[in-house]
Chain A
Amino acid sequence: MKVGIISFAHMHAHSYAQAIQELEGVELAGIYDDDPERGQKAAARYQTTFYSSYQELLASEIDAVIVTSENASHREHVVACAAAGKHVLCEKPLATTAEDAEAMIQACREHQVILQTAFPVRYNTAILRAKAYMEEGKLGRIIAMKGTNRGKNPGGWFVDPQKSGGGAVIDHTVHVVDIMRWFLGAEVAEVYAEVGYQLASEIPIDDCGLITMEFNNGVFATLDCSWSRNQSYPTWGDVTLEIVGTDGTLKIDAFAQKLDVYSNDSGHIYAYWGDDMDQQLVHDFLDSVRKNEQPKITGEDGLRALEVALAAYQSARELEPVRIEKSQA
């Protein structure tokens, strides 16, 4: 199977490229990037062809495309992939507006190609174990969830709202909201958020967020989506969940499988040794492509999570809880 990558703007492109290289029978057949220098460098690194237009890449003999361009460019790239009949794995957030996300879902449906949202946390082994544990019913009825997805300010286009759609809230809300929806089999009905612009000194962007949610099955939840890890913090960030049920609690720290390393060169850092979720994400996407079946995570899943992030921004503006009106897709 041949796979292309559109843009190395998002650093996840590298872990997806590595995942492709490690998979049997899969070839990274080409790379497009609107930054030719970045694209050529990546092409050299992964020993593949660089295309200076994505139309050219899409005209080549590839089966599927991974879109890792800037958030605001997802629509253009995904719609082009669909029109060319290529299956798509699109980086999260799916888009920067619900309208764009709907158009992408629509285009992929029309051209009968798979659209999967890249939510790798669903493939994290600790998250999978926790889901299985919850399905055993030992926690009783779920009452509440408290999540964190904190990180470092990535800088670059991530802090340019024209390209990213926003800062920490749009970047870090969607992963854990997706996990909560998946765990509960329920939708977010109402969102309240406090959003802060306080950590970055140079370019002001929303870098702190605390989102409170009410699900349509009566579960309440919060999520800290802040870019609140400072540069010398021992790791990139975290994904944690605290789940409270009538018969017990479950604590999940998705990246707790690590070594503490104390080095004169790098100070204190965490060396993660758990399973690679990005590898599993790419593997599962290509599996769906091969079998031509519905992906495990759909474009709709990406849209639902995006709606929560957008509602959070609206709530912070209006200082009121915001009801989620489900967009049509």
Chain B
Amino acid sequence: MHHVLVVGAGTMGSVHARSFARMENVKLAGIVDIRANIVGPLAESLQTQAFASYEEAMAALERVDIVDICLPTDLHKTYVLKAAAAGKHVICEKPLAGNLADAQEMIDFCRERNVKLFVGHVLRFFPEYVQAKRLVDSGAIGEVAMVNTFRGGIFPTAWKDWYADVKISGGLILDMIIHDFDFLRWCFGEVERVYAKSMIGRTFARMEYALVSLRFANGVIAHIEGSWAHQGFSMKFELAGKKGVIDYDSRAASPVVSTLRKQEAGQGGVAVPESPLRESPYFLELQHFLAAIERETEPLVTPEDAYKAMEIALAALKSIETGKPVSLAHSAGKGGDC
């Protein structure tokens, strides 16, 4: 039985807590959030304890094996280090940190403390992405040369509007399309060159839009489009190879779409697409992390992968700032496992 403490009861924290609550090999020991009105009802519905701070939870709970950090990105480091210092395995939402030095310190410290560090690059558990990679690996479309991806929707709303502060969240590129960077790196290996443009510094409107150009060491060219300027979340990818094309659009792959006649919380007349799955990708991801602890195996997403995805995102931000392409050296020593 894994005793898990979830820290943060916002969007991600509640998804994680609900997943853990359904797992037979997990005891959801507690949920932490500074907002009592959020964490109280969530803990109650999942029949676990609510805490106002991490320290309070750790003092009160008899046993915690895993700490799952679902806090705003700028708080990841503080709590990852605390949990590792206490000898707990750590699950941390992506991006691992806001800068590479912090990420490296977190990775090194977890290794030093001999605890596992898992980072929530959940796209590797989305069946459509898994399927696409499997098809590419099996040669179904031949050698891939050209890739286009999209991820986006409306500007995210969260506690204290922390996504709007680039210093805290890293903005669209570090927070959101880092998912695609990780997925593409998983499929095509290391990135050699990054060039990007975005709205940063161009307008004060509450929106963001970024167009990133990646060149992989194996020659693949990838175009990553990210948006916090569109209505309704969607994601897309198109992989073009010598023998064929794989095309995915989450809007076209929604088997259940409801549209209500009656206005309901401003939703009237709006089509709500759903892609129901027996197990959510988040559930599968967390289960996989637990299995990696039980079996002492390498997880599908290593801390090094999380570091490398950040490296691509930060290179894109640097390119936006300088107007120049940024080359990534394939430094083998960076990242590493813990």
The chain A residues found within 8 Å of chain B, CB to CB, are 140-141, 143-144, 146, 148, 150, 190, 192, 194, 196, 198-199, 201, 207-210, 212, 214, 218, 220-222, 224, 226, 228-230, 232-233, 242, 244, 246, 249, 319-321
Contacts and interface: CB of A to CB of B under 8 A. Distances in A.
Interface string B134-156: 00000001010110100000000
B281 interface: no
B229 A244 contact: yes
B229 A229 contact: no
Interface in B195-215: 195, 197-199, 202-203, 205, 207, 209, 211, 213, 215
Contacts of B231: 249
Given A209-B221, A212-B211, 13 more contacts: A140-B205, A144-B199, A198-B143, A199-B146, A199-B242, A212-B197, A212-B213, A218-B202, A220-B202, A226-B146, A230-B141, A233-B245, A321-B325
A222 B224 CA distance: 10
B209 A144 contact: yes
B268 interface: no
B223 A198 contact: no
Given A220-B211, A226-B240, A244-B229, A320 B325 contact: yes
Contacts of A140: 205
A214 B197 contact: yes
Interface of B: 141, 143, 145-146, 148, 193, 195, 197-199, 202-203, 205, 207, 209, 211, 213, 215, 219-221, 223, 225, 227, 229-231, 240-245, 323-325
Nearest to B148: A224
Contacts of A212: 195, 197, 211, 213
B240 A144 contact: no
A242 B325 CA distance: 24
B145 A198 contact: yes
Contacts of B240: 150, 199, 226, 228-230
Contacts of B219: 196, 198
Contacts of B230: 249
17 contacts: A143-B203, A143-B229, A144-B209, A190-B323, A192-B325, A194-B215, A196-B219, A196-B220, A199-B240, A208-B221, A214-B197, A214-B323, A220-B198, A228-B245, A244-B227, A244-B229, A246-B203
Given A196-B145, A218-B202, A226-B146, A319 B227 contact: no
A320 B324 contact: yes
A232 B244 contact: yes
A249 B229 contact: yes
A144 B199 CA distance: 8
B213 A246 contact: no
Nearest to B240: A228
Given A194-B193, A212-B213, A146 B225 contact: yes
Contacts of A150: 240
A246 B205 contact: yes
Contacts of B215: 194
A319 B325 contact: yes
Contact of B245 (A144, A196, A229): A229
B146 A144 contact: no
A144 B197 contact: yes
A229 B230 CA distance: 27
B245 A246 contact: no
Nearest to A140: B205
Contacts of B325: 192, 319-321
Candidate in A190, A198, A221 with the most chain B CB atoms within 10 angstroms = A198
Give the most central of A150, A209, A220: most B CB within 10 Å.
Answer: A220
Nearest to A141: B203
A172 B325 CA distance: 23
A73 to B, nearest CB: 30
A94 B230 CA distance: 36
A232 B242 CA distance: 11
B2 to A, nearest CB: 44
A143 B198 CA distance: 9
A18 to B, nearest CB: 30
Q: Which of A148, A210, A229, A249 has the most CB of B within 10 A?
A: A210
B221 A210 contact: yes
Contacts of A201: 242
B146 to A, nearest CB: 4
A196 B146 contact: yes
A221 B209 CA distance: 11
A220 B225 CA distance: 13
B203 A210 contact: no
Given A144-B199, A226-B240, A230-B244, A196 B213 contact: no
A228 B143 CA distance: 12
Contacts of B193: 194, 319
Contacts of A194: 193, 195, 213, 215, 221
B213 A207 contact: no
Contacts of A141: 203
Contacts of B223: 210, 222, 224
A285 B158 CA distance: 55
A192 B220 CA distance: 16
A242 B225 CA distance: 11
Contacts of A222: 197, 211, 213, 223
Contact of B145 (A144, A190, A208, A214): A208
Nearest to B227: A244
Nearest to A229: B245
A327 B197 CA distance: 26
B211 A146 contact: yes
B207 A228 contact: no
